Amino acid sequence: MARSKLNALVRSLTLAASVGAPCLAAAADLMLPPPPPPPPPPIEVGGGWYLRGDVGASIYTRPRYSDAYDYTGYAESNRAFGNAVGGGGFAGVGVGYQFTPFLRGDITGEYRYSTGLRGSEYYKGPDFDNGLGSYGVNKSSGNFDSAVVLANAYFDLGTWYGITPFIGGGVGYAFNHVSSYSTNQQFTSPTYAYDYTNSGCGCIPYAPVYDPNGNPVYNTNSGSKFYKDKTTGSLAWALHAGLAYNVTDALKIELAYRYLNLGKAETGPGFVPCCTGSLQAIKIKDIEAHDVKIGLRYYLGGFVAAPLPPLMPEPIPGPLVRKY
């Protein structure tokens, strides 16, 4: 009985194998379709180019005035100067390129808004009779503004928590404009009495005049001079230091300090309203500014999406059947 059961099992397995073998062979003849082609890679545009904009405020140091401002010719020990340029603001734009993660450069143009230009000269004049001295003061006023173009290079010193410190320098050209410039000279000296009896012209002074209290009487003479407007070109250079914050991968915000040397400026020829002669122009030298500014940098570089697939996709080929 056991032997007959074993034979029946063998016959069943043989029958199943003979039926399933053709199916397995047919399945082996079927090949899977090839995978779809990968999408085209994103397209990079812009590279390391960026645009920037800046606004800021300035404090100017005391400039030097040329000899044309000295109306007296007295020794330096007898004079004191108080020249100054008022504070001001500026705004600018630029375009730049990020060469490496640590090196970038840009070209900027800015306009520095009009500010007050002031000058003063106090001097001790000659001594008169009885030890009475004289003194004078020259005061000037005008307006100063400038347009500056700079080529700058910066070194980014690494990034920590999205903050990148940087240093840099720049060189360029400044168009310095002086307008509405005028001066006023006042000279104070003792008042003298004139001898009208012994002089045929009655104009010879002979003694200082004193008031009833015994104090000398002083007289002040004044006069004004005016100068034409003028724009002067001058070499300019700058030093930078600041921090940049990564708002996004493409947008940076900067807070920076800048030392800016604007070179020199000059007035046009001067004149006195009652006279026709031309006066020598006044030169203002060593115009320096300490700037605090806020800036934005926007990088044009980035990736755009790959082209869209066609509206009617191509049909997927069916399985390949190997035929004999």
> pLDDT tens digits, residue range 152-197?
999 999 999 999 999 999 999 999 999 999 888 888 877 776 655 5
Tokens encoding 158: 């690494």
For tokens 């004139």, what's the residue?
Answer: 194
**Residue of 183, 270, 185 lying closest to 221 (CA atoms):** 185
- Identify the H or E element spanning 204: strand 204-208
Distances from the Cα of 127 to the Cα of 58, 123, 133, angstroms: 43, 13, 4
- Identify the H or E element spanning 312: none
pLDDT, tens digit, 9 for 90 and up, residues 8-35: 655 665 655 555 555 545 544 555 666 7
Contacts of 165 (CB under 8 A, 6+ apart): 156, 157, 158, 241, 242, 243, 244
For tokens 């005049």, what's the residue?
Answer: 209
Q: Model pTM?
A: 0.70
Look at residue 310 and tell me whether its pLDDT is greater than 80: no
Dihedral (CA of 205, 207, 213, 219) sign: positive
Q: How far is CA 293 from the centre of its chain?
A: 8
pLDDT, tens digit, 9 for 90 and up, residues 33-80: 667 777 666 555 556 899 999 999 999 988 887 765 555 555 554 455
